[in-house]
Amino acid sequence: MAKEGGFAGVIAPVLTPFGEDGSPDGERFSEHAQWLLATGCKALAPFGTTSEANSLGLDERMELLEELVDEGIDPAKLMPGTGTCSLSDTIVLTQHALDLGCGGVLMLPPFYYKGPSEDGLYRYFAEVIEGVGDDKLKVYLYHIPPVAQVGFSLPLIGRLVREFPDTVVGLKDSSGDWSNTAAILAEYPQLEVFPGSEVFLLEGLKHGAAGCISATCNVSATAIRQVYDNWRTPDAERLQGHITAIRKAIQAYPMIPALKALIAHYRSDPGWAKVRPPFTPLPEADAMMVVGTLAKAHGFTLNFAEAA
Amino acid sequence: MAKEGGFAGVIAPVLTPFGEDGSPDGERFSEHAQWLLATGCKALAPFGTTSEANSLGLDERMELLEELVDEGIDPAKLMPGTGTCSLSDTIVLTQHALDLGCGGVLMLPPFYYKGPSEDGLYRYFAEVIEGVGDDKLKVYLYHIPPVAQVGFSLPLIGRLVREFPDTVVGLKDSSGDWSNTAAILAEYPQLEVFPGSEVFLLEGLKHGAAGCISATCNVSATAIRQVYDNWRTPDAERLQGHITAIRKAIQAYPMIPALKALIAHYRSDPGWAKVRPPFTPLPEADAMMVVGTLAKAHGFTLNFAEAA
């Protein structure tokens, strides 16, 4: 059975727009966040991998989060990424998110040092949780081995869930490996588990997943929400096929620049395409290709009037 | 010909001791730094990989650096690591080091996002250098693909050196691949190149290297300095054989915990063995083994009276 309550639903790791001078653009950011909530997202995970969060500074992350809350977004719907490679910076960001009232945090493992022991990772999370020391803290583990290289083994997840049952309440699995997601769902039914791609949404919901947290929710939350809302109906397979096709068309390009190019196009706002190094913007010809392919093959468009 | 001037010499990436409460111990840190300078190190590279720098917070790094300068260490001899995965935090740390008068900085590439393009990495460094915008800045590129995964290709090094000839002045090569170091030395003779292990010191000096920046300099700087000072003499091969043997005996264990265990033993200060998660301390039996093996096979000891 699909999991309900908590953050269950479709969640976008919110893209981070940058201004002319290269600093994060809080106004475009909160406008995009509100549009996402108005068009299918149950909640938001700002400062995910897709958000270029790891290219942002500590202060930039905190200011952007404050911007979302200041602009009236319910912090209970926010699950900001707070995991850095530094134990102390992770505590700073997590405490800050909690102080703002965020419903949860999405936490990467410390990812600089490779091949850490299970015990070392366990101690890291124990020190973060005890360092914050607040029963309101809800941690969602962020497993993304293709990027972070360091990940969460099944035994590590188990140890954390047993030791901190009221704090470690969920996991995002961006391994891209359905068998890993299925194993976590089977082994730890108490967790809210989110596949990191909507490609696994229907299958996930059938196995008890809570929804999905996926890069492409930044541009196709409405269609993804259709699968979430109708997964028990005869139409589910067709709806899933549609969102899988859109995802595959987008991921033929570098994901973050492609998503930003799509938003820039449909908002008629070229500044939206800006990425922070080490990313580079999608070349103009590729941007036209991804817009054209999606529109032609999948009837894809973005309607920014919807949120108004 | 070996390179002279600049930071040429034996350089230690200074270990970071932690206090009872897990926060960095500035007093033990500066005491160790001064001992290193008194026993063979020409300069220091605090906040390297060996320093567990990537497990430290932004504020912790800046406070520790200030501690070294406050304690009277000549900042011209300091090449702190300032590279993080975030462009803005890297600018903050680099500016701070420059404000303190540091002779150079050792800069990791942004290491979270994997497989960045050469152009993206180039833009990253260009934005950092232009963001700091100070002719006094001297950047040493930090190539350590086994850990950072992201590294510096020969063409990227070339592009940075050509574009910023007065700023990008050196490189530490911790690839562990001598053929890569040799290629950089041959291609860019204007750079101060430091192999990341003293195993390559003699060979490096013969090919124009500036010295070495190596984890094990934390415990064997005096012996490594012997090679540096005598590399043109008939005794050089024997001296190199000695430091290579010590290095190999230590790296049979996890490097950082082993180095800290050695210092804890010879200082009779068990607190020195503390590491920050995700690292775990060397088990007691292993600590006894590494101390015993080094003493028995190589006459290894540490004399902390020397610096007094």
Q: Which residues of A touch B114 (CB under 8 A)?
A: 146-147, 149
Minimal-distance CA residue of chain A relative to B114: A147
DSSP state, residue A301: -
3-state secondary structure of A184: helix
Interval A69-82 mean pLDDT:
98
The amino acid at A69: V
Mean pLDDT on A62-85 = 98
User: Cis bond leading into A283, ω under 30°?
Assistant: no
Model pLDDT, residue A2: 66
The H-assigned helical ranges of B133-196 are: 145-148, 154-163, 178-187
Q: Which fold has domain B9-232?
A: TIM Barrel (3.20.20)
pLDDT tens-digit map of A86-95: 999 999 999 9
DSSP label at residue B81? B
Question: How big is chain B by its Cα radius of gyration, in Å?
Answer: 18
Question: From the CA of A1, how many Å to the nearest CA of chain B?
Answer: 35
Contact flag B277-A110 (C-beta cutoff 8 Å): yes
How many whole angstroms separate alpha carbon B274 and alpha carbon B266? 15
Q: Which chain A residues contact residue B95 at CB under 8 A? A: none
Q: Dihedral, CA atoms, B42, B107, B149, B44, nearest 10 degrees? A: 20
Confidence class for position B1, pLDDT limits 50, 70, 90: low
> pTM for this one?
0.96
Is the pLDDT assigned to residue B306 strictly greater than 60?
A: no
- What are the two backbone dihedrals, phi and then psi, of residue A194, each rounded to the nearest 5 degrees? -120, 115
Catalytic residue among A140, A188, A228, A253: A140
Amino acid at B100: L
Is the omega angle on the peptide bond into residue B270 within 30 degrees of 0, that is, cis? no
* Per-residue tokens: A119: 């015990």
| Beta strand ranges found along chain A (DSSP E) | 9-12, 43-44, 105-107, 139-143, 168-173, 192-195, 211-213
Q: What is the ipTM of this complex?
A: 0.95
CB within 8 Å: B55 and A111: no
Q: Across all residues in chain A, what is the average pLDDT? A: 96
The answer to whether A106 touches A81, Cβ cutoff 8 Å, is yes
Is the Cβ–Cβ distance between A75 and A103 less than 8 Å?
A: yes
Rounded to the nearest angstrom, the minimum Cα separation between B10 and chain A is 24
The active-site residue out of A138, A172, A260, A274 is A172
| B277 contacts A124? CB cut-off 8 A | yes
pLDDT one-digit tens code per residue, B134-168:
999 999 999 999 999 999 999 999 999 999 999 99
Catalytic status, residue B114: no
Q: What is the largest CA-CA distance in chain A?
A: 52
Which residues are within 8 A (CB) of A296 and not within 5 positions of it... i.e. 6 or more apart? none
Q: Chain A partners of B150 at a C-beta cutoff of 8 Å? A: 278
* Contact between A271 and A20 (Cβ < 8 Å): yes
Do A280 and B22 make contact, defined as CB atoms within 8 angstroms?
A: no
Q: In CATH, which of 3.40.50.1100, 3.40.50.970, 3.40.50.620, 3.20.20.70 is domain A9-231?
A: 3.20.20.70
Size of chain A, expressed as the number of residues it contains:
308
pLDDT at res. B308: 45
Determine what percent of chain A is predicted with pLDDT higher than 70: 98
d(CA B15, CA B28): 10
Nearest CB to B276 within list A87, A92, A114: A87
- Alpha-carbon distance B207 to A56, whole Å? 39
Is residue A260 predicted with pLDDT exceeding 60? yes
Q: How is B76-123 classified by DSSP, letter by letter?
A: GGB--B---S-HHHHHHHHHHHHHTT-S-EEEPPP-SSSS--HHHHHH
Q: How far apart, in whole angstroms, are the C-alpha atoms of residue A240 and residue A60?
A: 36
Mean pLDDT of A32-36: 98
CATH 3.20.20.70 range(s) for chain B read 9-232
Dump pLDDT digits (tens) for B238-260.
Answer: 999 999 999 999 999 999 999 99
- Distance between CA atoms of residues B200 and A144, nearest Å: 36
Contacts of A118 in chain B (CB under 8 A): none
Note whether B77 and B46 are within 8 A (CB): no
Catalytic residue among B140, B142, B188, B228: B140
> Catalytic residue at A172?
yes
pLDDT surpasses 90 at A106: yes
Give, for B170, the enclosing helix (H) or strand (E). strand B168-173
Predicted confidence at residue A3, as pLDDT, reads 73
Distance CA A89, CA A86 (A): 5
Coil, strand or helix: which one is A23?
A: coil
Q: Which residue has the tokens 């091949």?
A: A115
Question: Are A26 and A67 in contact, with CB atoms under 8 Å apart?
Answer: yes
Q: What would the mean pLDDT of A105-125 be, rounded to a whole number?
A: 98
CA distances, A17 to each of A132, A269, A272 (Å): 30, 11, 6
Q: Band the pLDDT of A308: cuts 50, 70, 90.
A: very low
For residues A6-35, one letter each, b for 16 or more C-beta atoms within 10 angstroms of the residue's C-beta and e for the rest, the string is bbbbbbbbbbbbbeeeeebbbebbbbbbbb
**pLDDT class of B2 with cuts at 50, 70, 90:** low
Query: Is the CB of A57 less than 8 angstroms away from the CB of B86?
Result: yes
Closest CA in chain A for residue B90: A57
pLDDT in the model for residue B106:
98
C-alpha span between A286 and A292 (Å, rounded): 10
Indicate which of A51, A63, A89, A96 best probes the interface with B, i.e. most B CBs within 10 Å of its own CB. Answer: A89
Q: Are the C-beta atoms of A54 and A278 separated by less than 8 Å?
A: no
Strands (E), A66-160: 105-107, 139-143
Are the CB atoms for B164 and B185 separated by under 8 Å?
no
Quote the pLDDT of residue B6: 86
- pLDDT-derived band at B297, boundaries 50, 70, 90: confident
Cβ-nearest to B277 among A54, A87, A111: A87
Mean pLDDT, range B8-17, rounded to an integer = 98
As a whole-number percent, the residues of chain B with pLDDT over 70 amount to 98
Of residues A5 and A283, the one with the higher pLDDT is: A283
Query: Is A48:A104 a contact under the CB 8 Å cutoff?
Result: no
- Record: contact B121-A279, CB cut-off 8 A: no
Which one-letter DSSP state was computed for residue B180?
H
